[in-house]
Structure 1
Amino acid sequence: MSEEPPQEVLLATYIITFLIGFPNSVLAFFSCIRKIHIKPIPIDIIMLNLAISDLIFLTCLPIKMKEAADNMVWKMPSGVCRSDVFVYLLPVYSSSLFLTAIGAERYVCIAFPVKYRSPKRIIYTIPICVVIWVLVAAIFTFVYKAVSTDSGVAVNTTNQQTERCYSNFTEKQLAKLLPVQMGLAVVFFFLPLLTCCFCYINFIRNLLKLPLIKRQRRLRAVGLALGTLLVFASCFAPYNISHVVAFVKKENPKWRTTALILSTLNACYDPIIFFCISREMRSAIKVCAKFFFRCYAYLKGQFTQNIK
């Protein structure tokens, strides 16, 4: 991991993430909207915000595809780079907080069932989601000011006079950016990770003590916990650890691009969370799968007939 990934790997990762994540995020979005319209509950509101975060990222992912196709040389306007940095890093920070909120919600559901059924809890969920969005937007304001210290733009120039987006910072920029990134790692990764571990360990322990819980529900609970930890370990950990390394060494590690690429896979793993929680999401996936296999069987039959 000492060099940037090859152009083909970057482009393939973006394309696979888009093809897997976009349809699943759309299904999750409309499933949450339908459930909230029928009977709003806190977990559906949090899942809706998580789906919105993924959709914002996936809708703008073709910009990163264009950048990868240009061998990471930025050939678009600098204003697009500014907005692209925000959108590209959005799931790294917002998703960690929404996943933590889902973990806390599941823990309250099983540990304090009486309080969980209180209709007043819906009143607190919406402000929590709003605070998360405001916090993420405020953080990016600090990051943008830090990288704009010298150049005034987020596009930096290398020694080869080729423009890169959000890379090759000056010493003055790094002096302001590295402490901010270290704070981001603590607030948006280490604290949420510890919170999720606490919530899901106790959630599963309490769930296993209930004799009347069906086996499928137990398996979904374990899948939810493992899916969340998978996102934190494989998507969020490498990039946030790069912040710690950069803060200690006072320079950006060369493997940060690889770590950032792994964070894009978050949009592929979030459907695991949706599948484990939402019955409507599971039903929608089953319907889509049946439709896909029917189309495949029909096309296969037509192809066989044409050969004969």
Structure 2
Amino acid sequence: MNNILVTGSNGQLGSELRALELTYPKYHFHFTDYEELDITNHTAVKTYIETANISIIINCAAHTAVDKAESDIEMSTKLNHLAVENFAKIAKENNIKLIHISTDYVFDGTSYIPYTESIKSNPQSVYGNTKLAGEEAIQKINPSNSIIIRTSWVYSSYGNNFVKTMLRLANERKELGVIVDQIGTPTYAKDLAVTLLEIIPQLNNKSIEIYHYSNEGVCSWYDFSKAIFEIKKFKIKVNAIETSQYPTAAKRPFYSVLNKNKIKKRFQIEIPNWRDSLKECLQIL
């Protein structure tokens, strides 16, 4: 039985999983979004899962509007914490696998060494705090065969993201400023989606485990934008600016590079370099 419930199916990762549906005929997918299934409603979710005979939940749903979350704490709490707690309870009650997607925003960004899973969390925003609360809820309930995967700087050919914003701006302007003092690693949602589907058969842990996943390599947002324009051969002047020159409601981590050694070793996976994956995505776009 390989019936997978994918929540947040209209988001970037959910859309990439939907695009892979025919590539993985051994799985039978059920794609839902918040408008279709209230993931904070325990009865509604439990009924759906039991009716569809779900054996695996991939929870991509989240309130990811980082700046908006600062003034919309209620929605962030519902989607990033309470819904996750709901899934964890149902996963334990029904003995099904749960993969929950979390974020680099659970860290404060003060490190200059890639974050391992064991480094203490210290979120600096409402988004980061509610995502951490979701992680802690799963850990407390502790469903077996379930994992948390933290990722960073997600982009895709689907949805709204940094890559698409840069392409749009390149058609509107001759010059723009991009932040140079925030360091991390882009994650092509398709790469993460493939990894999720490949590791599902290997999930056999008794206690909840946390893994980190992003593409390989390190860059700033400035480097990321330059790579986009170089690959597309767009002639646009990009100025490096500091975070202080572009204030936002939510505080971003200055450094959020994730150490991927644990997931690579445990599941024997290879992770592409961010530039290679960016080229693949830009070919689609």
Is the structural similarity TM-score above 0.5? no
TM-score, with structure 1 as normaliser: 0.29
Write 1 or 2 for the structure with the bigger share of helix.
1
Largest Rg, 1 or 2: 1
Which structure would you say has the larger RCO, counting Cα contacts within 8 Å and 6 or more residues apart? 1
TM-score, with structure 2 as normaliser: 0.31
